[in-house]
Amino acid sequence: MLKNINPSRQTRVLAIHDISCIGKCSITAALPILSAAGIETAVLPTAILSTHTGGFKGYTFRDLTDDIMPVINHWEKEGIDFDAVYTGYLGSYEQINIMKEIFSIYKKKGALIFVDPVMGDNGRLYSAFDDSFPKGMLDMCAYADIITPNITEASLMLGEKYSSGPYEKKYIEDIMRRLSGICGGSVVLTGVCFDENMLGAATYDASNNKTDYSFARRIDGMYHGTGDVFASAFLASLLNGNDMKKSADIAVEFAAQSIRQTLKIKQDRYYGVNFEAAIPWLINNI
Ligand code: PXL
């Protein structure tokens, strides 16, 4: 059931990610998913790329670092507020400091700061970032109420060697407690598996020290953009008044359904998952 959590106006999110023109990740996932869930979604692009960087060759890249603060300054003059600020893939190291400034502005006005520390997958940092990036991202996460790393990103931020799983419960809960201890907020860890059959997410709610798990049957293969689809559905659910556990259940199932829909079409996995086909399920189950 879609609910509006803000009594004075439609719930409004600011989504700060790149625009990968092809590849269904970042803004091209966040905007349709949040909008479908009834949330007004303002976008602030960090960069424009012809495709994402995870498979296509020779992509174009336009860095928008210099455009970000002028946009915010204009909104400030107009008195525009947000219920949540949601960041993902950044276009430059410098943008880390810019995000901290933006978080300070909107946190003061009561916005939820939701950071997907998009940096890597399968044990590797994405090609556009250098080794100093994870430490910068960890510092940025200290401004967040909720962070949603995958296990690669969590390992990079903690300076730990990546392990591909299956994992022990203690390993997962240690990672979440350590990240929450450093950053101060709640943690949603993706890519969690305790066996070969089920894959999902763990949530650590810093307000009550509660850990929960959400799983779906594992679907073999690598599907690009599922982290963005997961985080966007999680936030969409949270802003409709659901708690972290219910939101993780919804986001895990939404990502799994998006992958299952993708398997029906024979298209290269780099083109992203067919989350559009799972949107009716999302809005009926949120
Ligand atoms: O889905 C994460 C992502 C977002 N944006 C860009 C990317 C990637 C992952 O490769 O390259 C530009």
- In this prediction, residues 257-269 reach a mean pLDDT of 89
**Total domains in the fold of the chain:** 1
Q: What sign results for the dihedral spanned by CA atoms 104, 37, 283, 5?
A: positive
pLDDT at 83: 96
23 CB within 6 A, ligand 1: no
**228-261 pLDDT, tens per residue?**
999 999 999 999 999 999 999 999 999 999 999 9
Kindly state whether residue 97 falls inside one of the protein's structural domains.
Answer: yes
Kindly state whether residue 6 falls inside one of the protein's structural domains.
Answer: no
20 CB within 6 A, ligand 1: yes
How does residue 173 score in pLDDT terms, banded at 50, 70 and 90? Answer: very high
* Averaged confidence pLDDT in the chain: 96
CA 30, CA 271: separation in Å to the nearest integer? 16
Kindly state whether residue 2 falls inside one of the protein's structural domains.
Answer: no
> Do residues 246 and 44 lie in contact, with contact meaning Cβ atoms separated by under 8 Å?
no
CA 281, CA 174: separation in Å to the nearest integer? 34
Kindly state whether residue 161 falls inside one of the protein's structural domains.
Answer: yes
Kindly state whether residue 116 falls inside one of the protein's structural domains.
Answer: yes
> Do residues 43 and 281 lie in contact, with contact meaning Cβ atoms separated by under 8 Å?
no
CA 182 to ligand 1 centroid distance, Å = 25
What is the pTM (predicted TM-score) of this model? 0.97
Helix ranges, the chain (H): 27-36, 65-78, 94-108, 133-141, 151-158, 169-183, 226-238, 244-263, 279-285
Number of H helices, E strands in the chain: 9, 11
- In this prediction, residues 21-40 reach a mean pLDDT of 98
Q: How far apart are the first and last CA of the chain?
A: 6
pLDDT at residue 155 greater than cutoff 60: yes
Kindly state whether residue 227 falls inside one of the protein's structural domains.
Answer: yes
Residue with the nearest Cα to atom 1 of ligand 1? 225
**Residue located via tokens 């407690």:** 177
Give me the domain span that covers residue 275. Answer: 12-285
- In this prediction, residues 13-32 reach a mean pLDDT of 98
CA 247 to ligand 1 centroid distance, Å = 23
153 CB within 6 A, ligand 1: no
| Three-class SS of 6-44 | CCCCCCEEEEEEEEEEECCCCHHHHHHHHHHCCCEEEEE
Q: Which of 118, 119, 222, 270 to mutate to test the pocket of ligand 1 (most atoms within 8 A of CB)?
A: 118
Kindly state whether residue 242 falls inside one of the protein's structural domains.
Answer: yes
> Do residues 239 and 223 lie in contact, with contact meaning Cβ atoms separated by under 8 Å?
no
pLDDT at 2: 64
pLDDT at 221: 87
CA 186, CA 235: separation in Å to the nearest integer? 13
In Å, how far from its chain's centre is CA 130?
A: 20
Residue with the nearest Cα to atom 7 of ligand 1? 52
Residue 128's CATH number: 3.40.1190.20
Kindly state whether residue 5 falls inside one of the protein's structural domains.
Answer: no
Q: Which of 18, 20, 148, 224 to mutate to test the pocket of ligand 1 (most atoms within 8 A of CB)?
A: 20
223 CB within 6 A, ligand 1: no
CB-based burial label for 159 (10 Å; 0-12, 13-18, 19+)? exposed
Name the residue among 113, 148, 155 with its Cα closest to residue 232.
148
**94-105 pLDDT, tens per residue?**
999 999 999 999
228 CB within 6 A, ligand 1: yes
- Residue 61 Cα distances to 52, 208, 272, angstroms: 9, 42, 19
DSSP class of residue 53 equals S
pLDDT at residue 30 greater than cutoff 90: yes
